[in-house]
Structure 1
């Protein structure tokens, strides 16, 4: 059962501040952040997109390939997707890719998946972009297929769903243990029902503590409906941190920083950030996936590691 609080760093993958120099530079930046965090950042997270920049031409390596590279370069932290577009890859192929990454990383992969949302990316790559309800139903079938193919007691997997079909598909070597499945999103009727039935982890980005608590209560009701204890689902929050010695300096870090409309950043002095994180913890958050608004500088993550994270020491989930 999940316990404690921990912190992860969201790679600047697809953001304006992604380092030049390719994957080697990205791995170096990740290691710099981990060093600055002094053991308080225990996971690295990557988004799943194909195009970046205003015109879509900025360099953007594919997410799972990038994590495989990082798994070899950085051996001692969890690696996760936040989140995969479920129909960017055939579900059986996704199961195979995730299993391979789990084996290569020594069991450190978290398979984060979502319904998908970036329509222009779908259109550019020739994917259909059905309604949200259909995409969520497809996501559920994709998770079911992954679970079947990862099952160590099953040599072949057959699944005939409404949207996806596999026949006697194999997945060797098996991922042992199977990657935890993280489902991202907060849709109250369909997404949270899917989380209740199928997720090991849940991520809700950018919302306030009060909204997180409200969504958590809805998730608990769905868990009651499907007969599952909500406490077994690890609950996480994704967002931006702007931290500095003064509130004015912290606010300056946000100038020009891309934040999703309506998202709530962690903003202020170390004392402010401790209070804000405490409110999220009281709302039910157990894991935080963070990006720092002063990147590529490391002053923010150092200050966070020295004066914020120690107040929320957690048991390792490794």
Structure 2
């Protein structure tokens, strides 16, 4: 089971904080550092000192890390034009030496769009399909050839389709719990499919939908990586678990039901249930970005039991 670190900086983190977490991610042997793509805090957090941009963050980390993969869960399709996004991701991939992955979603948080003057269209999934077509099409176009696209929402004419990523193919992640259109998009475009914050049974059903959609599209379902994103709240004792739950303003019982919560042994057992559901990779949502000790606990007492 591959373990990755997943952060939510809109809840309150500057670049220096994210760099510390990314460095710890690398030093502790995790395979990747991912972050959300939001410009406004959620829930009871005050969001101070304010939002950071996902791809500016990853550009900085590309130069300050050496091994870990870097990516988004998920870049909001409403924030960026797909042609510009293809340039941004390709550049960061070059800066990292080929370590970038693109999670791309439709965008959903209307309040952050209102707060920063970003249009919030109604046809988000239809736009997402075109965004995936444009981004992947630009990257696939051979050097020296041109890319044209005439869609409902986006039109590109005589594009040189540059720059190219360092990788032959940047892995693309699609995710969500939609029953029809989301699996169909994954079957067409994704290298990885991610189920966020769902129970093992719901995970298994969604993975089955994606596999069925891949087969219908004439694709081998085993070509995709299947993953989950889950909040973590680990501790060696009940008191430590309770302290960490209080720090992120979550209820312990709810975390035990919907996340990875408890002792290292309990978390190993819980991850085993997701493995049985078909998950190959877990994104550990670390909500308290000052709590690097929790990352060390999982790296030293959970991960060795998953091999």
Same fold, TM exceeding 0.5? yes
Who is 2:101 aligned against? Answer: 110
Q: Is the 8 A contact 2:76 2:107 kept in 1?
A: yes
- More deviation, 296-305/99-108: 296-305
Q: Is the 8 A contact 1:47 1:84 kept in 2?
A: yes
- More deviation, 298-307/112-121: 298-307
Q: CA deviation at 1:82?
A: 0.8
Q: Is 2:140 the partner of 1:151?
A: yes
Who is 1:271 aligned against? Answer: 265
Q: Is 2:127 the partner of 1:138?
A: yes
Residue from 20, 24, 27 that aligns with 1:32? 24
> Over the residues paired in the alignment, what is the CA RMSD in angstroms?
2.2
Question: Which structure's relative contact order is higher, taking Cα pairs within 8 Å and 6+ residues apart?
Answer: 1
- Count how many residue pairs are aligned between Structure 1 and Structure 2: 300
Who is 2:299 aligned against? Answer: 305
Aligned pair in 2 of structure 1 residues 82, 294: CA closer, same or farther (>3 Å)?
A: closer
Equivalences for 1:1-318 in 2 at 5 Å?
A: 5-16=1-12, 18=13, 22-35=14-27, 37=28, 39=29, 41-52=30-41, 58-131=49-122, 134-153=123-142, 155-175=145-165, 176-255=167-246, 257=248, 264-292=258-286, 295-313=289-307
SS at match of 2:97: coil
For 2:247 and 2:200, the matched residues in 1 are separated by 25
For 2:16 and 2:46, the matched residues in 1 are separated by 24
Q: Is the 8 A contact 1:157 1:170 kept in 2?
A: yes
For 2:94 and 2:22, the matched residues in 1 are separated by 21
Q: CA deviation at 1:50?
A: 1.9
For 1:85 and 1:293, the matched residues in 2 are separated by 20
For 1:284 and 1:79, the matched residues in 2 are separated by 23
For 2:268 and 2:62, the matched residues in 1 are separated by 31
Greater fraction helix: 2
Aligned pair in 2 of structure 1 residues 258, 91: CA closer, same or farther (>3 Å)?
A: farther
Q: Is the 8 A contact 1:253 1:293 kept in 2?
A: no
* Unpaired segments ≥5 residues, structure 2: none
For 2:249 and 2:225, the matched residues in 1 are separated by 27
* Unpaired segments ≥5 residues, structure 1: 314-318
Q: Is the 8 A contact 1:247 1:267 kept in 2?
A: no
Q: CA deviation at 1:144?
A: 0.7
Aligned pair in 2 of structure 1 residues 70, 228: CA closer, same or farther (>3 Å)?
A: same
Aligned pair in 2 of structure 1 residues 49, 191: CA closer, same or farther (>3 Å)?
A: same
Provide TM-score, normalisation by structure 1: 0.87
Aligned pair in 2 of structure 1 residues 127, 26: CA closer, same or farther (>3 Å)?
A: closer
Q: Is the 8 A contact 1:185 1:191 kept in 2?
A: yes
Q: Deviations along 1:271-300, whole A, 9 cap, x unmatched?
A: 100000011011111111113456412332
Q: CA deviation at 1:303?
A: 1.7
SS at match of 2:31: strand
